[in-house]
Amino acid sequence: MKQWEMGMSGAVAKVIREPARDIPVLMESDIVVVGGGTTGPVAAIAAARRGKSVVLIERFGSLGGNMTLGLNTKPSGALVGGLPLEIWNLARSVGGAGEDYMAVSKSGGVKIASPCDPEIMKMLLTRLCADSGVQIMFETVVSAPVVEDGVVKGVIVESKSGRQFIGCKVLIDCSADGDMAARAGAPFVMGAGDETTTMQPVSMYFTMSNVDIKRLADWARDTDDVPARAIPDKEEDLAYGLWLTGFNGSLRAFKKDTGIDLARENITLKTADGQLYVNATRVLGVNVFSPTEFSAAVLECYRQVDAYARFLIERIPGFEKAKIAQISPVLGVRETRHVVGEYMLTGPDVLEGPSFEDSIAADASALDIHDPKGADVDFRGMRPYEIPYRCLLPKDVEQLLVAGRCISADHDAHARSRNMPACMATGQAAGIAAAVAIEEGVTVRQVAVPKVQEVLRELGMPIHGNQIN
C-alpha cells in the first residue's frame, strides 16, 4: 500500500489508498431522501403518500434535526398550510405545541408558529413516516451519490454493516449543507462567495430548569431591556407562548462587572412545554467542513453556555434557582453551501415578493439575520414571498433535487429561506415533484410544474404570496 504522495504544492502529503472493492446492494427504491432533519421527513412523507417507495437516511437516531435534537423547536414564522401545518396541528392535538402568536419588536409584528416539544416531535415525525410507508435508515451516513453520465443512480451508505449501495430513481438532498449536490458535481457558493467571512455564525441551544416563568414574564412586561417579545396575558399560555429577545443592557453590565466575554449583544429566551430554551451562544467564521474547526466551535459553545447560564441566574428575575438542564448534542449551523440551481433566489425576491410562474410555495418566514461579523440580530416580519421550483433543481446533475437551507438562494435571500417553514415547504415540494416525475415517466427537470402545483394546492399549500392572509 502506497502511503506517501507529492502534493500539488510540492509538499509531501500522507495518503492511504483504498483497494478497489465490490459494494453490496442493500436495496432499490423509487426515491432516496438524504437527511432526516426538519426538511427530509416532510419530503419523504409527501412522496410516500403518493405510493412511491421511499428511503429516508439519517445519521442520528431520531428525526427533526435542528428542530428536535438542536432544541430550536420554533419555526421563525407561520406555517401556512400543507403537510407542515398538518404536522404542527397534530403536535398541538397531543399537547406538543401551542397556538401561533404575534411577536412584537421595534420593526413591527411577526406571526410565529408556537414552539414544539422536541421529544414529542421526534416521535410524531417517526410515526408519520412509518405510517406513510417510508423506510427509515437511522444511524446511517451517506458517503457519496453514485452518478453515471451525469445522472444520479443511488447512494453509497456506511453503517454498522459496512459500506453498501441503495439505488433510486430520484435523489432528494435534504442534508442542509448540500452534501449530495456538491459531491455529484453541482456548482455551489459558500455564504456570499468568500467562504466563512460572510456566513451566518454557528451556535448551540440549551435549556434551563427551575425557572419561575411567571416571575420572568412579569419582569419582562415592565422592562425596556426586552424590546422584542411575545408575552401571553393568561398564565396558562406561558408554557408555549413566552418569547423574549433583547437583554442588551443587562448583558453589557454583566460583561463590564465580571470581565466575562459574551459573544452576542442580545439573546433570546422562549418556552416550550413549560421549559425555558436559551438561544445565546455564537461562534463566528467557522468552517464546519473542517472537523478540527467544528470541534473547536463545540468547545467554545460549551464555555459560552456556562457563562450565559451564570448571567441569567445572577441578573435576570425568575432564574434565581435555575440550572442548566440540557445542552443540544448538535451544533446549530445556519449557513454553508448555496447550491446553484436553474434560478437563484435573491435578496430583492424575498423582500419585494415578486410572483413566479413556477412557484411551489409561498413562505411567511421572518427575516432572520445573524450578522457574520457579530452585530446585533436582525429579526423582523416581512410580506410573504415565493420560492420557484427552479431553486430546487441543481445545475449539471440529473435526477437530483435539493430542499431545505441549501436550495439555490443567495446569502441575502437565505435569511428567510433557511427558516423552518421554508425548509419544510421545499421538502414537501421536492417530494411531490419526485413522485409526479416518476408517475409521468419524465425527469425531475422535465416534470410538469402545473401538475406539482395542483397536488400542492390539494394539500392546502399556498403557492403564491397573495394567497396568505
Q: Is residue 12 part of a domain?
A: no
| Residues 399 and 321 grouped into a single domain | no
Cβ(297)–Cβ(199) under 8 Å?
A: no
Q: Is residue 14 part of a domain?
A: no
Which DSSP category does 285 fall into? Answer: S
The secondary element (H helix, E strand) that includes residue 89 is helix 82-93
| Residues 31 and 92 grouped into a single domain | yes
| Residues 82 and 69 grouped into a single domain | yes
Of 275, 301, 327, the residue at which a domain comes to its end is: 327
Q: Is residue 103 part of a domain?
A: yes
| Residues 184 and 280 grouped into a single domain | no
93 CB neighbour count, 10 Å cutoff: 10
Cβ(54)–Cβ(133) under 8 Å?
A: yes
CA–CA gap between residue 419 and residue 411 (Å, rounded)? 13
Query: In total, how many domains does the chain have?
Result: 2
Q: Is residue 5 part of a domain?
A: no
| Residues 166 and 205 grouped into a single domain | no
pLDDT (0 to 100) of residue 13: 75
Which DSSP category does 113 fall into? Answer: P
Whether residue 107 is predicted with pLDDT greater than 90 in this model: the reply is no
pLDDT (0 to 100) of residue 103: 84
- Domain with 440 in it: what CATH number? 3.50.50.60
29-38, 95-104, 168-177, 304-313: range with lowest mean pLDDT: 95-104
| Residues 209 and 96 grouped into a single domain | no
Note down the domain range covering 284.
201-327
Which pTM was predicted? 0.94
C-alpha count within 13 angstroms, C-beta hemisphere, residue 396: 11
Pairing state between β 400-402 and 385-388 = unpaired
Task: Classify each residue of 189-214 as buried b or exposed e, where b means 16 or more C-beta atoms within 10 Å of its C-beta.
Answer: bbbbeeebebbbbbbbbbbbeebbbe
Of 310, 327, 344, the residue at which a domain comes to its end is: 327
Of 327, 359, 381, the residue at which a domain comes to its end is: 327
| Residues 184 and 36 grouped into a single domain | yes
Return the closest-CA partner of residue 382 out of 413, 351, 410: 351
pLDDT (0 to 100) of residue 226: 95
- pLDDT per residue as tens digits for the range 337-385: 999 999 999 999 999 989 999 999 999 988 766 555 545 556 667 889 9
pLDDT (0 to 100) of residue 379: 66
* % pLDDT > 70, the chain: 93
Query: What average pLDDT does the chain have?
Result: 92
Arithmetic mean of pLDDT, 23-33: 97
Arithmetic mean of pLDDT, 241-266: 95
Return the closest-CA partner of residue 338 out of 244, 412, 420: 412
| Residues 192 and 55 grouped into a single domain | yes
| Residues 63 and 175 grouped into a single domain | yes
CA–CA gap between residue 438 and residue 48 (Å, rounded)? 12
Cβ(150)–Cβ(398) under 8 Å?
A: yes
Q: For CA atoms 87, 91, 97, 98, give the dihedral sign.
A: positive
Model confidence band, residue 132 (pLDDT cutoffs 50, 70, 90): very high
